[in-house]
Structure 1
Amino acid sequence: MEVVDKSRLPYVYSADELISMFLATYEKEESRGSVVEPAFIKQKRLEIRRIVSSGKSLASVLRGIALAMPFLDRLHPFYRDLIDVVFGTQTYKHAVAKIGNAHMAIKAIARESIAAVRAASDKGGIYAARKMYRARVIDLINDLRPELDKLREIVLFLRKLPAIDPTLFTIVVAGAPNVGKSSFVRCVSSARPEVAEYPFTTKQIHVGHIRLRGDIVQIIDTPGLLDRPLSERNVIEKQAILALRHLAGAIIFLIDPTPHSGFSIEMQLNLYREITANFSAPVVTVVNKIDIANSEELERARSLFTPIGEVSTINCRGTSEVVNYVLNKFYVPIALEKLKAARR
């Protein structure tokens, strides 16, 4: 299974850019031929060259865009499902197919236009064939405008995605909005996600890396989840669910025992139960904000979740101990087995 290779993503021209490019290529061709050749014949030859060069150039650009887009069937399920969640698989395939197949329509227009030029009996016939050719091609480009705009949006989205390697052991940090997930990832890894004191700051998945004696482990900060059925979740929440489903080697469920996140401890408990019931990766719970939680709030969280650690992400207190616990319990055994297998 492939990952999205950002270096291979195409530049998707807008419809207006393609029209300008098409007309510029058309006008670039200049008259050639013998000086003794009749002007009418020279004009026909020039018009045919213009049609051939401009049509061929446009067809090549459109086909190149389509072929450079990722093939969904070859992508890792995480990327494939992510595109489906954000844009829709059918929308993606339709846009790629329509743009990719447009080269055939351009070639057909060019053939018909060349035939019209050859059949012209005077300069008026040549001008009529030219007008028809340019108008039809511009109409075709304008017809592709929605698909071009959609692919531009998709490419921009894919370029902004962090470089996720599905083959690496991955810790996913999950929980309700504003419980401190971004701050936790910032404390323990190379990631520098945006941190703010309001819900849904994390609009996309962010990836950090932890280096272990030459090896690398991924840690992912996911958008906050809400306590409601999957069918009712928004696109931001579904991105988090995809990370849980396809990437997680272990899940750290972060809890805010205080009222500051805006989500009750009971809501967070329901969310925790949903995650443990629906995802195969092991889940550990960690209480955050111990710097501001009172003793009653902490005791309530401990009784409901039995956390493996308690942290304060405002100053990173206890965060490295939590990560070391997760790595020793879930990653080290896997790494040792791989090492043993490699030595056999």
Structure 2
Amino acid sequence: MSFEVVDKAKLPYIYTADELISMFLTAYAREEARGSTAEPAFVKQKRLEIRRIVTSGKLLASTLRDMALRMPFLDKLHPFYRELIDVVYGAQVYKHAVAKVGNAHIAIKAIAKEAITAVRTAADKSQLYKARKMYQARVIDLLRDLAPELDKLREVVIYLRKLPSVDPTLFTIAVAGAPNVGKSSFVRCVSTAEPEVAEYPFTTKQIHLGHIILKGDKVQIVDTPGLLDRPLAERNAIERQAVLALRHLANVILFLVDPTPHSGYSLEMQKRLYDEIKTSFEAPTVAVVNKVDIATQEELEKARELFNPVAHISTLNCHGTREVVDYVLNKYYVPLALEKLREIRRRA
């Protein structure tokens, strides 16, 4: 089964309730009287009111429907994006917001239809004005009622626009580990990404993406939020984004270890996290010891005993980071690329 990815170009602009009310009233007022000057003034006024109702109602209904239809449909999205929206906003909350905004165009049409009937049957100007006020009041009440859902969709769109354009079909290296062990610095050293780097936990609030450009191809490298040593059910939304990246994107998991006290997390805690990742995800996990520029010999020796790392690096000056990427690509990417090439030749 093929899944869709989030196409940022297709994401709609989500109007606020106040913006929609302003749009509605402007469209209503923009219509001007037409017709023969010989036509009775009351009849002419009725025609104008009906035209105003039709024009403003159509504009509003089409705007609401278009916003809803251009939002991603969860059931069609790649599991990474689908579960990401569920983690951050809640799948049911999101679906409810999309459905309520989308179905509002039906209510708008019904209100307009009733208003047109009231205008046509109005016996005098007072009834005509009453029909107008009733129409406008009902539409405005409906839009104000939609405000929470519109605000929620606006949040989702802003979040998705900021999210990197992840391609689940590309070979992906996911960089994992406890908070503040140097994941963002590593990604910055080896790829096109420029994630924020700072000396405090959870600098990475969401997934960041970089690319390693190869001859005729590219590899994704994902900087994930830091993970803590606790069960998945107890993890917060930031940590669960990392879990999703590991589950749905990673071809290889690069686990960074900080042997020093600077991250605030002991080697024992990091080892428990490392063991959990190795047993919880299908992708192979490779341990790399970071911060060799400041670690003591005793700290490095203890890290070697616990993790049996493939390399020792320093992301402060990018020492050894390229060699780690070369190791990962040669061991895991090249065999897959060769297999794909052989498959293409077999089909040809």
Alignment TM class, shorter chain as reference: over 0.9
For 2:225 and 2:16, the matched residues in 1 are separated by: 31
One-letter identity of the residue aligned with 1:161: L
One-letter identity of the residue aligned with 2:299: E
Deviation at 1:292, TM superposition (A): 0.1
Deviation at 1:118, TM superposition (A): 0.6
Identity %, equivalent residues: 74
For 2:155 and 2:345, the matched residues in 1 are separated by: 47
One-letter identity of the residue aligned with 1:117: V
One-letter identity of the residue aligned with 1:323: V
Alignment of 1:1-344 (within 5 A): 1-344=3-346
Deviation at 1:343, TM superposition (A): 1.1
For 1:202 and 1:193, the matched residues in 2 are separated by: 8
Aligned positions, number: 344
Q: RMSD in angstroms over aligned alpha carbons?
A: 0.4
Deviation at 1:212, TM superposition (A): 1.4
One-letter identity of the residue aligned with 2:13: Y
For 2:170 and 2:246, the matched residues in 1 are separated by: 14
For 1:116 and 1:198, the matched residues in 2 are separated by: 64
SS at match of 1:148: helix
One-letter identity of the residue aligned with 2:105: H
Deviation at 1:50, TM superposition (A): 0.3
TM-score by length of 2: 0.98
TM-score by length of 1: 1.00
One-letter identity of the residue aligned with 2:118: A
SS at match of 2:309: coil
SS at match of 1:91: helix
Please list the CA deviations of residues 268-314 of structure 1 after superposition, one character each: whole Å capped at 9, or x if unmatched: 00000110110000000000000000000000000000000000000
Moved over 4 A (4+): none
One-letter identity of the residue aligned with 1:314: L
For 1:109 and 1:339, the matched residues in 2 are separated by: 60
For 1:156 and 1:14, the matched residues in 2 are separated by: 13
Please list the CA deviations of residues 157-200 of structure 1 after superposition, one character each: whole Å capped at 9, or x if unmatched: 00000010000000000000000000000000110000001110
Q: Which runs of 5+ in 1 are unaligned?
A: none
Deviation at 1:214, TM superposition (A): 1.5
